[in-house]
C-alpha cells in the first residue's frame, strides 16, 4: 500500500485550494509575525548587568598570581581608558557632570550605574556642586567629601560614591591611597580574611602578588575575581 505522509496530504490540499498564492502569503506572514513576537520576548528577557564584568565561563584562576596576570591581560587596559577619559576632559565642571551622571568613556551610562534613576543622578550633580571638591589634596579627602555629599540620596550606594570619587580623582590627578571596600569588592576582600565591616584597607596588607597593582587596580581586581578568590580560599 502506498503511504501518504502528513506533509504530502497538506501539500495536496494546498494544490487544490483556490487562491493558493494568497493563502501561502498569509501563512508566511503569520509565521514571520510569530517569529517577531518570539524575538521581542527574548529581547525583553535580556537585561543589562550592573556591577563588575563577569569572567568568561572557561576562566578559572587558581592562585592569586594567576588572578593578577589575568587581570592585567584582560581588564587593566579598560580601567585605564576610563581614567584617561576623565583626565583629559576640558574642565572640572565637565568632569563633575560626567561623574554625576556616571558616564563611561563612550558617553553612555557606566554598567555599574545602569539601574540608577536619572532623577537621583540629577540630585547627585546638584549636591556635588555645593562642595569645594577641587580643593582636595588627596584621594581619601575627596572620597570622604563625595560620601558626605551624596551618600544620603535615595538609591545611591557605596559603589556610586566610590566610582564618583574615582572619576573626579582621575581629573584632579588624585589616586586612591587605600583599597575601598563596597559591594563586590567587599565580597572579594572577605575571601582574604578581611571583616565585612571594614571600610578600606592598606594596599600593603594584601597578598604579595597583588603588590604589582595600584590600590585602584586592587579594588577592581577584588570585585571582578571575588568568586575565584573564595574558591582559592576554600582549597
Determine, yes or no, domain membership for 134: yes
Domain count, the chain: 2
Whole-prediction pTM: 0.75
- pLDDT of 57: 43
pLDDT (tens digit per residue) in 206-227: 999 999 999 999 999 999 999 9
Predicted pLDDT of residue 43: 38
Q: Is residue 170 part of a domain?
A: yes
Q: Is there a domain that residue 190 lies in?
A: yes
| Rounded to 5°, angle at Cα 112 from 110 and 117 | 80
Q: How far apart are CA 25 and CA 3, in angstroms?
A: 29
By residue range, what is the domain housing residue 198?
Answer: 178-235
d(CA 75, CA 64): 15
> Do β-strands 179-180 and 200-201 pair in parallel, antiparallel, or remain unpaired?
antiparallel
With beta carbons less than 8 A apart as the criterion, state whether 227 and 85 touch: no
163 and 91 in a common domain: yes
168 and 182 within one domain: no
Q: Is the pLDDT reported for residue 172 higher than 90?
A: yes
Rounded to the nearest angstrom, the gap between the alpha carbon of residue 194 and the centroid of all alpha carbons in its chain is: 24
pLDDT in the model for residue 46: 36
Q: Looking at per-residue confidence, does 21 or 176 come out higher?
A: 176
The reported pLDDT for the residue numbered 52 is 73
| pLDDT reported for residue 2 | 40
Residue at which a domain ends, from 159, 175, 191: 175
The mean predicted confidence, pLDDT, of the chain is: 83
Q: Cα–Cα–Cα angle for 44, 47, 48, nearest 5°?
A: 145
Q: Kindly report the backbone phi and psi dihedral angles of residue 201, in degrees, each rounded to the nearest multiple of 5, phi listed first.
A: -135, 155
Lowest-confidence range among 52-56, 121-125, 151-155? 52-56
Q: 189 and 219 share a domain?
A: yes
- Choosing from 130, 148, 175, the residue where a domain stops is 175
Check residue 53 and give its pLDDT.
66
pLDDT of amino acid 51: 59
Amino acid at each position: 500500500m502506498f503511504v501518504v505522509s502528513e506533509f504530502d496530504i497538506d501539500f495536496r490540499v494546498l494544490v487544490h485550494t483556490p487562491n493558493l498564492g494568497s493563502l501561502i502569503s498569509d501563512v508566511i506572514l503569520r509565521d514571520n509575525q510569530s517569529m517577531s513576537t518570539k524575538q521581542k520576548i527574548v529581547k525583553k528577557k535580556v537585561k543589562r548587568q550592573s556591577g563588575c564584568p563577569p569572567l568568561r565561563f572557561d576562566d578559572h584562576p587558581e592562585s592569586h598570581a594567576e588572578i593578577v596576570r589575568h587581570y592585567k591581560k584582560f581588564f587593566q587596559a579598560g580601567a585605564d581608558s576610563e581614567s584617561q577619559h576623565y583626565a583629559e576632559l576640558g574642565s572640572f565642571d565637565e568632569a563633575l557632570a560626567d561623574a554625576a551622571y556616571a558616564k563611561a568613556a563612550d558617553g553612555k551610562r557606566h554598567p555599574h550605574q545602569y539601574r540608577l534613576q536619572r532623577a537621583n543622578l540629577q540630585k547627585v550633580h546638584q549636591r556635588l556642586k555645593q562642595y569645594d571638591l577641587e580643593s582636595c589634596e588627596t584621594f581619601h579627602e575627596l572620597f570622604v567629601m563625595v560620601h558626605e555629599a551624596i551618600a544620603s540620596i535615595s538609591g545611591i550606594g557605596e559603589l556610586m560614591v566610590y566610582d564618583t570619587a574615582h572619576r573626579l580623582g582621575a581629573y584632579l590627578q588624585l589616586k586612591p591611597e587605600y583599597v575601598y571596600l563596597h559591594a563586590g569588592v567587599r565580597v572579594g576582600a572577605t575571601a582574604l580574611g578581611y571583616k565585612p565591616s571594614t571600610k578600606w584597607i592598606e594596599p600593603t596588607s594584601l597578598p604579595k602578588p597583588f603588590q604589582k597593582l595600584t590600590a585602584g587596580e586592587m579594588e577592581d581586581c577584588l570585585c571582578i575575581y571575588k568568586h575565584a578568590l573564595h574558591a582559592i580560599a576554600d582549597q
